[in-house]
A and B are shown apart, each in its own frame.
Chain A
Amino acid sequence: MVALIADDSINFRRKITSLLHDLGYEVLQTKDGREAIDTYSEKRPDFVVMDINMPDMDGITALQHIIKIDADAKVIIATAQGLQNTVIEAFKNGALAYLLKPITEEKIKHAIETIYDKNK
């Protein structure tokens, strides 16, 4: 299975890539919302882990575009923002799970289980 990561932090991308590799996933890395949309269109990964707070194009806007491309896209929002408004906005726009930074293997496993449970 293939995961697409969108996050402007190289440290975060490497950390989550390492965790996902350990869990047996292939990983495509992108550093902003626009790259994520392009890569999603081209590669159609199994799920996306999308940061909300990115320069150029934020994660919510990118999420909206991805859902337009594929209404069944499985998107996990990853953010350090515990703000209720932000989380609600992400779910309203089609996110299926929420991953609060800093990430751990347990958190990412739980988020992946959540997106597949919701699609049963």
Chain B
Amino acid sequence: MKETVKYSILPQAESFLKDYLDIPISKIEESYCDDEFILNLKDYNSTLRVDGDSLHIVVIVCFETPLIDIVVKNFMSISEIDEDEKEELYLDATGEVMNIIVGLSNPKYIKKEQNAIMNTPKKIIGIRDIKIKKPYSVLQDNIYTEFGNMNISIIQNK
């Protein structure tokens, strides 16, 4: 796992939660695996690819419902969400949060000459886990808050 990727995306995720959304973080657990890895998804999940010359990473963000609920409320500065809109807003926010985190991290690890493209986030629906095998490695931050948990995983060819 290239350290520059690790130290760009994961701190950006923490900063976005704390500084922009005003959600205090109570604990962060980091894990790394370069062998077979089962990524357990949560209630709302999205993935995004960044591709460039000699650069291919996949990022997956997973949220528990109570946390994505407060993310949406704080993002839009609202106190309530209509029941019939929750599903759409939660799914959309999962992708948009990742879009912002990865997008803001890009200049820190992508060189201009790599001609990198950040793809649009894709919602992950209908599956509970993803099996990741060699030669890919996974670096994951599990972020705990008083509202619930999220994790962000960076998957990269070793």
The answer on a CB contact under 8 Å between A80 and B107 is: no
Contact residue among A9, A18, A100 (Cβ-Cβ distance under 8 Å from B92): A9
B83 at the interface (CB under 8 A from A): no
List, in ascending order, chain B residues with CB within 8 A of A8's CB: 120
Interface window among B23-31, B71-79, B133-141, B150-158: B71-79
User: Which chain B residues (72-121) contact chain A, with CB distance < 8 Å?
Assistant: 72, 75-77, 88-89, 92-93, 95-96, 99-104, 106-107, 110, 112, 115-116, 118-120
Contact residue among A11, A55, A81 (Cβ-Cβ distance under 8 Å from B106): A81
Interface size on A, residues (CB 8 A): 21
A84, A100, A102 — which one has the most chain B CB atoms within 10 A of its CB?
A: A102
User: Which chain A residues (4-21) contact chain B, with CB distance < 8 Å?
Assistant: 8-12, 14-15, 18
Quote the shortest CB–CB distance from B108 to chain A (angstroms): 8
The answer on a CB contact under 8 Å between B76 and A15 is: yes
Q: Is the interface of B mostly helix, strand, loop or mixed?
A: helix
A85 at the interface (CB under 8 A from B): yes
A109 at the interface (CB under 8 A from B): no
A55, A81, A84 — which one has the most chain B CB atoms within 10 A of its CB?
A: A81
Interface size on B, residues (CB 8 A): 27
The answer on a CB contact under 8 Å between B16 and A102 is: yes
User: Which chain A residues (68-89) contact chain B, with CB distance < 8 Å?
Assistant: 79-85
Instruction: Mark A41-73 against chain B: 1 for CB-CB distance below 8 A, else 0.
Output: 000000000000111000000000000000000
A101 at the interface (CB under 8 A from B): yes
CA distance A75 to B45 in the complex (A): 32
Asked if A80 meets B103 with Cβ closer than 8 Å, knowing A8-B120, A54-B120, the reply is yes
Quote the shortest CB–CB distance from A54 to chain B (angstroms): 7
Quote the shortest CB–CB distance from B101 to chain A (angstroms): 8
The answer on a CB contact under 8 Å between B96 and A18 is: no
User: Which chain B residues (6-58) contact chain A, with CB distance < 8 Å?
Assistant: 16, 20
The answer on a CB contact under 8 Å between B92 and A85 is: no
B71 to A, closest residue via Cβ: A11
Asked if A11 meets B92 with Cβ closer than 8 Å, knowing A18-B77, A84-B112, the reply is yes
**A: which residues have CB within 8 A of B?**
8-12, 14-15, 18, 53-55, 79-85, 100-102
Q: Which 7 A-B pairs have the closest CB atoms?
A: A80-B103, A9-B96, A82-B107, A80-B100, A81-B103, A10-B92, A55-B120
> Given A9-B95, A11-B93, A80-B104, 15 more contacts at CB 8 Å?
A10-B89, A11-B72, A11-B89, A53-B118, A55-B120, A79-B103, A80-B100, A80-B101, A82-B106, A83-B110, A84-B107, A84-B112, A85-B115, A102-B16, A102-B75
